[in-house]
Amino acid sequence: MPASSRSVRFATGNNGKMEEARIILSPFGIRPVALNGKGVEIQADTVSEVASYSARVASRKYKKALIVEDAGLFVESLGGFPGPFSSYAFKTLEIDGLLKLLKGEGSRRAHFASAVAYCTPSSEPKVFEGVVRGRILEAQAGSGGFGFDPVFLPDGSAKSMAQMTLEEKCAVSHRGRAMRKFGSWFVTTEP
């Protein structure tokens, strides 16, 4: 891995996301630096809208170039719920509540989506998206990761996101895909 030669501020209070960003961006020579607090989080239909708005507000508030990441779990048989409201759904329903909602459903297809928004105080956000498709398990498997990771099985994997090592998860995850798109762009575009 190359030595980190550039840094980018990452507006987040989530230590798990911060650690994943370090692993994902390291091969690009990018070192994320925590900036606690991503600003205002709006209610919207997509994680891209949430990340974009938050990045715009935070970059102007802190007068810094930065990234914001937002993610959500979209369950097909629930009409895409919880989607961009995944954090709230996890806090209120928890994993058991999601499993109860899916009891008796024929399809357990779902996907995780991530949006990384980069913004400077004088620009509009540039958004990078990543998706990983899979299904919701009948019961929790694994103790790693965070959020709904213990019940999400990516397509082609024998392990839930919570059973994977952090490096394995970053290689296949929605956040990994979005962050790698950002990293590729950042090293070739930004000064």
- Taken in order 52, 89, 143, 171, the sign of the CA dihedral is negative
Predicted confidence (pLDDT) per residue in 80-100, tens digit: 999 999 989 999 999 999 999
Domain coordinates of the chain in residue numbers? 6-189
Place of tokens 């970053």: 170
CB 117 within 8 A of CB 125: yes
Each residue's pLDDT tens digit, 102-142: 998 889 999 999 999 999 999 999 999 999 999 999 999 99
CA angle at 74 for the pair 178 and 103, rounded to the nearest 5°: 145
- Cis check: omega of the bond before 82, within 30 degrees of 0: yes
Mapping DSSP to helix (H, G, I), strand (E, B) and coil, where does residue 113 land?
Answer: strand
Looking at the structure, give the CATH architecture of the domain made up of residues 6-189: Alpha-Beta Complex (3.90)
- In this prediction the pTM is 0.92
Q: Which residues are identified as catalytic? A: 70
Structure tokens at 38: 């991503």
